[in-house]
Amino acid sequence: MIRIAVATLGCKTNQAESAAMVGAFDDAILVEFGEPADLYLINTCTVTNRTDFKSRNLIRRALKVKEANPAMKIVVTGCYSQRSREEVLSLGAVDYVIDNQHKLDLKELVQQSDPGFMDIMQAEAFNFHLQKGMLDRSRAFQKIQDGCDFYCSYCAVPYGRGHNRSARAEDVILQAQTFVASGYKEIVLGGVNLGLYRDGKLGLSGLLRKLEEIEGLEIIRLSSLEPQLFTDELLEQVTCSKKIAPHFHLAIQSVADSVLGRMGRVYKQKHLSDLLEKITSNLPHAAIGGDIICAFPGETEAEFMETYKFLQESPLCYLHVFQYSKRKGTPAATMPNQINGTIAQERSNRLISMAEDLKTAYRQKILENRVSLRGVIDKIESELASFLSDHYIRGYISKQAHLGELFFLEPNAIYEDGLIQI
């Protein structure tokens, strides 16, 4: 038996990869981070300065545990260590720094004295590894795409993940069938830039058509999508689908064309409002959420308010709000008029409180229109079990249930942050 302690920062793709890395050890026992173990795995993130800082802290904590357990191996991987390998090695006796392209080969690589380290910009093919399950028993995260070539001016991800590359469709289908055979009823499809998925002539909507045919797969959820990659074909696919959750997370970032231009984003406000109009006319009760970056260099109060007002009047039902974070080596890091932290915090507070109103209004809409909710149980507390529904609202049930079980709900009351059927 091998005792493994894991810490994963960042996106769902990193979460999926950690599960795959640990899942490769058939005889693994998971122990709490901080406890003695044979292997410490830290899957880092570099999306903000804060995640770099957190990555270094996790490595220092592992090094502390190693002082008392010199035989244990420390493995660091992920986007921070991909960009800052020397910085990681300078922290102390880290045994392996594994590049993002080969991280899924972890089990084999820790048998080698020097597994090498690839410049991620050299990665061409998608590194597929069939995995049986996840660390989480409720839903399976399936990474089907990696890398990005958009180079938005604020983003360090392409330097940590390399060029865009996708899994072969047959591998995606095989993995999904394997998850279903392991008892999963919901799969979340993910990638660094999911909308870029392509295997020859087959794009994301074509792949979804194939996945829908899998018996026993009840819910397919899409992770974050670039607005310009939410095509009419994809909209048609999700509209006529019985399995794809009507929950769409858009990487919006800003709505002011002047800011979008400085960010290097390739869509404009008009495109966003047209897209939201199309989604809501096809799926009037869909849950639409988005990432927003506030206080981007040069963002004036007027530009901020343009984004704020657009979102306030939009059909969105939640926001993930980020304050701009200067990333070394990105064009935005050297742009003039960097916004100070106080203004950034104040703008982010305004967006977060407005987003609460959006969430409340959406929950009320779902209740008043008696929209039924579906989902797999992912939380069991004393009296109640609950699930994150296909409409991205938490559904509560007062019945016996087990993790991963599929439930339907005709909600008739508000309960805590979600809805319940009394």
Closer of 5 and 79 to ligand SF4 (Cβ): 79
Closer of 322 and 407 to ligand SF4 (Cβ): 322
CA–CA gap between residue 195 and residue 251 (Å, rounded): 11
Binding string to ligand SF4 for residues 178 to 217, with x set by CB under 6 A, is what?
A: --------------xx------------------------
CA–CA gap between residue 229 and residue 196 (Å, rounded): 7
3-class SS of residue 144: strand
Residues 142-161 that bind ligand SF4 (CB under 6 A): 148, 150-152, 155, 157-158
**How many residues sit in the footprint of ligand SF4 (CB under 6 A)?**
11
The yes or no reply on residue 324 touching ligand SF4 (CB under 6 A) is no
Q: How far is the CB of 249 from ligand SF4 (least distance, A)?
A: 12
Binding string to ligand SF4 for residues 232 to 261, with x set by CB under 6 A, is what?
A: -------------------x----------
Residue type, 153: S
CB 83 within 8 Å of CB 47: no
Residue 63: count of CB within 10 angstroms of its CB: 15
The yes or no reply on residue 376 touching ligand SF4 (CB under 6 A) is no
Length of the chain: 422
Instruction: Name the token pair of 303.
Output: 């530009």
Q: How far is the CB of 267 from ligand SF4 (least distance, A)?
A: 11
Q: How far is the CB of 133 from ligand SF4 (least distance, A)?
A: 27
Torsion, CA 129, CA 133, CA 134, CA 138, rounded to 10: 140
The yes or no reply on residue 226 touching ligand SF4 (CB under 6 A) is yes
Q: How far is the CB of 44 from ligand SF4 (least distance, A)?
A: 16
User: Could you write out the DSSP letters of every residue in 377-401?
Assistant: EEEE-SS-EEEE-TTSSEEEE-S--
The phi, psi pair for 349, rounded to 5°, reads -60, -40
Q: How far is the CB of 206 from ligand SF4 (least distance, A)?
A: 21
Closer of 8 and 145 to ligand SF4 (Cβ): 145
CB 175 within 8 Å of CB 208: no
Closer of 144 and 157 to ligand SF4 (Cβ): 157
CA–CA gap between residue 203 and residue 195 (Å, rounded): 8
**Contact residues for ligand SF4 (CB under 6 A)?**
148, 150-152, 155, 157-158, 192-193, 226, 251
